[in-house]
Chains A and B, each alone.
Chain A
Amino acid sequence: MSAPVALVLVSHSTDLARGVAELAGQMAPDVVIRTAAGGPDGGLGTSVEVVQEAIRAALDDAGRAGVVVLADLGSSILTVETVLELDEDLADVVRLASAPFVEGAVAAAVTAHGGASLAAVLGSAEDAARSFAGSGREPGSGREPGSTASAAQGSAGAGNAPGESTTPPPWPHAGPGIAADRRGDPGQSATVTGRVIVRNPLGLHARPAALVSRKVAELGARVRVDGVDASSVLQLMALGATEGRELLVEAEGPGADEAVRAVVGMIEGGFGEV
């Protein structure tokens, strides 16, 4: 059963589109990803007809819930916009993401894999530039608003690092901890935290990051790993967490316990790479 939102990757180059589709598809196997690449003569270029066909096919495959389109350079974008102008019926169900091609495709695919809506998939693609290029430690940089960040900082300062109360936030330096212990003031929103050492040599690279973010999305809990939104595959990758690094896993709200255990368990398991 495929995810309701499909992706169409529009590129000048068939090789480029195929490669990005392969990369994103590995992380989100249930998402329909179609490519529309190359010009009318088969060389580098873009074609309105090719893009039209790919979008229509993707809508059919995905059960018409919607399609997010990612495009590489200038004329790819112009071509997609032209297709949308020619066929006004597509406007409601097809969205062109303003996003970097590779990062946007990966982020959109992983979000779509969890059954997310058209708007959510589009949003995650468009957040990709920021969450990937910027510091992965910016809790407000993803889809979570600033209120989450301040709540998280409060619990860290109070519970984890009393000796460092003058410099509360940075999670990785909050001191040693025990896996999956419960912290936080019961009177406030309880934060469950866990610590885990990355075991596989490559750490949270694309595939493991996708596995974690999909799990988090599936559980529906709000989870952070070293301060970043764990439902964002790109933010997890941007941590650059490799073998031996200790990560702080935190969750709040319903299902927090289960979510922290699940994420800690996955990272501890080494993703089948140890």
Chain B
Amino acid sequence: MTLDADWAERWVRRTAEAVEAAKDELTELDRQIGDGDHGENLHRGFQAVVARLDAAAVEVSGLDTSDRPVGDVLKIVATTLMSTVGGASGPLYGTAFLRASKVSGRPQLDPSSVVALLEAALEGVASRGKAQVGEKTMVDAWQPAVDAAERAAQDGGDEIAVLRAAAEAADKAAHDTIPLVATKGRASYLGERSAGHEDPGARSTALLLGAAMAAALAGPDGGADGAAA
């Protein structure tokens, strides 16, 4: 299984599906400790991404795109999310994909370049949001994901093993935000009352990284892959 631009497309299409399925859950999480628009905003953003990719797919149909840099897809995702999401997650995920696109200029990613992609994304989220671990934000899912991805790569894992490590760590870490008291973002206005709820941004990060792994496992023709459309 190679991680190429087609994988990146499948990744974001699967993310769009996952966000759609979890839209109400994300919105409900955000309603408890934020402004209640995270699910709607991300759904709108990723639907717009899918529309952009569909339009681009028509343009390149029939051409050989095998040497297309992975970063090209990520850049489209970045700019589309920035323009269409509307809440803080637009600039945050937009910057994550933008920074990731800058380190993904090659047509195929090996395990270390997957780690580099994730590190760049984390760096984008953390610097844009000026957030650190423990503040009950997306960073609380991104940082453990990157740490796990690095360990997997060091242990000689292939690119799927790296993505799997990241996805599993993010899923657990999102759950681990429940007892945290928010000190960044809209939830921080609630102070102690923000404890007891999962952070919606950490949850959507887990969805995103889960989709990255699923897209890699499924392969070009695999399963319920949205890219087949």
Taking a contact as CB atoms under 8 Å apart, the answer to whether A41 and B86 are in contact is: yes
Given the known A-B contacts A40-B85, A48-B83, A48-B94, are A82 and B44 also in contact in the complex, defined by CB atoms under 8 Å? no
- Distance (Å) between the CB of B199 and the closest chain A CB? 14
Residues from chain A with a CB closer than 8 A to the CB of B88 are: 74-75, 78
Are B128 and A78 in touch, CB under 8 angstroms? yes
- For chain B residues 41-100, which have a beta carbon within 8 Å of chain A? 41, 44, 79, 82-88, 90-92, 94-95, 98
The answer to whether B9 has its CB under 8 Å from any CB of chain A is no
Docked pose: A190 CA to B95 CA in angstroms: 56
Do residues A78 and B86 form an inter-chain contact, with CB atoms below 8 A?
Answer: no
- A86: B residues at CB distance < 8 A: 79, 82, 98
> With an 8 A cutoff between CB atoms, is A191 at the interface?
no
Q: What distance in Å separates the Cβ of A90 from its nearest Cβ neighbour in chain B?
A: 15
Q: Is A46's beta carbon under 8 Å from chain B?
A: yes
Is A79 interfacial (CB 8 A cutoff)?
A: yes
The tally of residues in B whose CB lies under 8 Å from a CB in A reads 21
Does B129 sit at the interface, judged by CB under 8 A? yes
**A85 contacts partner chain B, Cβ-Cβ < 8 Å:** yes
Chain A contacts for B123, CB-based, 8 A: none
Which residues in window 4-56 of A have CB below 8 A to B? 39-41, 43-49
Type the 1/0 row for B125-139, where 1 means its CB is closer than 8 Å to any CB of A: 000110000000000
A39–B44 Cα distance when bound, in Å, is 11
In the complex, chain B residues whose CB is within 8 Å of the CB of A74? 88, 185-186
Q: A40 touching B44 by the CB < 8 A rule? A: yes
Q: Which residues of A contact B94 (CB under 8 A)?
A: 48, 82
Q: Are A82 and B83 in contact (CB-based, < 8 A)?
A: no
Flag if B86 contacts A81 (CB, 8 Å).
Answer: no
Which residues of chain A are near B186, meaning CB under 8 Å?
A: 73-74
A73–B88 Cα distance when bound, in Å, is 10
Interface residues in A94-152 by Cβ distance below 8 A to B read none
- What residues on A are CB-neighbors of B86 within 8 Å? 39-41, 43, 45-47
Asked if A45 and B83 make an inter-chain contact with CB atoms under 8 angstroms apart, the answer reads no
With A40-B44, A74-B185 known to touch, is A82 a contact of B91 (CB < 8 Å)?
yes
> Known: A40-B44, A82-B128. Contact between A75 and B83, CB under 8 A?
no
CB distance from B72 to the nearest CB of A (A): 16
* Cα–Cα distance between A75 and B45 once the two chains are bound (Å): 15
Interface residues of A in 68-98 (CB under 8 A from B): 73-75, 78-79, 81-82, 85-86
> Which residues of B are found within 8 Å of A82, using beta-carbon distances?
82, 91, 94-95, 128
Chain B CB within 10 A, most for which of A46, A82, A86: A82
Q: Find chain A residues with CB under 8 A from B91 CB.
A: 48, 75, 78-79, 81-82
Asked if A75 meets B87 with Cβ closer than 8 Å, knowing A48-B94, A85-B95, the reply is: yes
Residue in chain A with minimal CB distance to B184 = A74
* A-B CB contact pairs (8 Å), 15 listed: A40-B83, A40-B85, A40-B86, A43-B86, A48-B82, A48-B83, A49-B83, A73-B186, A75-B88, A78-B88, A78-B91, A78-B92, A78-B129, A79-B90, A82-B91
The 4 closest A-B pairs by CB, nearest first: A39-B86, A45-B86, A75-B88, A78-B91
Q: Which residues of A contact B (CB under 8 A)?
A: 39-41, 43-49, 73-75, 78-79, 81-82, 85-86
